[in-house]
Copies of this chain bind each other. A is one copy, B any other.
Amino acid sequence: MTAETFNDLKIFSKPLTPDGAAVLMGFPGSGLVGTIALQYMVDQLEFELIGTMTSKFFPPLAMMNKGIINDPIRMYKKDNIAAIVADIPIHPMICYEVSNGILDWLEPFKPKEVLTIAGIITNEPEKRVFGVATTTEALKRIEEYTQILPVGSISGIASSILTECKIRGISAFGLLGETVNAPDPRSSAATIEVLNKMYNLALDVQPLLDQAVEIEQSMAKLSEEVQSSENAPKKDLPMYG
């Protein structure tokens, strides 16, 4: 595992397969749709963990999995699919540097396409998956599997990744899972159904749907704990400027 530095982003990783990999990305956002979907995919299909990245701009946060702390952002690969899964939110101020760093790292491997999964809040009960792309050709690849978003906007790291890909001439897609303002495995499952069609993954989302209730509960509990431990310093150390 070698380390490469891209401005303020440090990437430690094995090389990607240079034969035109599809690179799927999921960052925390509305409904944690992308993070939940891709973590489920790499766990179920036993992707290989090939790397991690850090930055002085990442928030100091580590998620646990059976007592083992995760790297905040992880790279996985299996056959010709790579996945980048993040546990930490990317602040709007650093989306540009993070998306640039990731693509500076990716470009030499000549990825076939980039796909980013995010959530979009509509406050409607459905779990539709909206699709956007960087070019008309790219749009064809997803128009039968998603509901094309005619007009609108996306923000955050997903928009930075898509914009950077468009400028660099890399085909890229955005899957926006209709979600609510809380961890939403059901929306993640809907986006996985699209991945199944695009990449013939044949992933069974039933377990994910079964876990939905349970996951929602533990996630909610976590939020509370984190929130209180986060607020603590300000409260019990008022002397801190």
8 Å CB contact of A121 from B95, B96, B149, B225 = B225
Q: Are B32 and A229 in contact (CB under 8 A)?
A: no
Rounded to whole Å, the gap between the CB of A50 and the closest CB of chain B is 14
Which residue of chain B is the closest to A121 with respect to CB atoms? Answer: B228
Enumerate A1-57 residues with CB–CB distance to B below 8 Å. 12, 28-32, 52, 54-57
CA of A87 to CA of B163 in the docked complex: distance in angstroms?
13
Question: Cβ of A78 < 8 Å from any Cβ of B?
Answer: no
CA of A30 to CA of B226 in the docked complex: distance in angstroms?
11
Q: Are B232 and A239 in contact (CB under 8 A)?
A: no
Name the residue in A29, A55, A64, A182 with the highest tally of chain B Cβ atoms < 10 Å from its Cβ. Answer: A64
CA of A57 to CA of B160 in the docked complex: distance in angstroms?
12
Q: Are B96 and A229 in contact (CB under 8 A)?
A: no
Question: Cβ of A111 < 8 Å from any Cβ of B?
Answer: no
Question: Cβ of A185 < 8 Å from any Cβ of B?
Answer: no
Rounded to whole Å, the gap between the CB of A121 and the closest CB of chain B is 4
Question: Cβ of A206 < 8 Å from any Cβ of B?
Answer: no
Neighbouring B residues of A89 by C-beta, 8 Å: 233, 237, 240
Q: Are B119 and A229 in contact (CB under 8 A)?
A: yes
Task: Encode A54-67 as 1/0 by CB contact (under 8 A) with B.
Answer: 11111111111111
Question: Cβ of A132 < 8 Å from any Cβ of B?
Answer: yes
8 Å CB contact of A223 from B122, B132, B133, B239 = B239
Q: Are B123 and A228 in contact (CB under 8 A)?
A: yes
Which residue of chain B is the closest to A226 with respect to CB atoms? Answer: B239
Q: Are B97 and A30 in contact (CB under 8 A)?
A: no
Q: Are B56 and A97 in contact (CB under 8 A)?
A: yes
Neighbouring B residues of A133 by C-beta, 8 Å: 67-69
Q: Are B152 and A222 in contact (CB under 8 A)?
A: yes
Q: Are B119 and A232 in contact (CB under 8 A)?
A: yes
CA of A149 to CA of B230 in the docked complex: distance in angstroms?
17
Which residue of chain B is the closest to A97 with respect to CB atoms? Answer: B56
Top 9 closest A-B pairs, CB basis? A92-B241, A60-B95, A30-B232, A67-B148, A226-B239, A62-B159, A56-B96, A227-B238, A121-B228
A-B contact pairs, 15 of them (CB 8 A): A30-B233, A56-B100, A60-B156, A60-B159, A61-B159, A62-B163, A63-B151, A63-B152, A66-B148, A67-B149, A91-B240, A181-B228, A181-B235, A223-B238, A226-B239
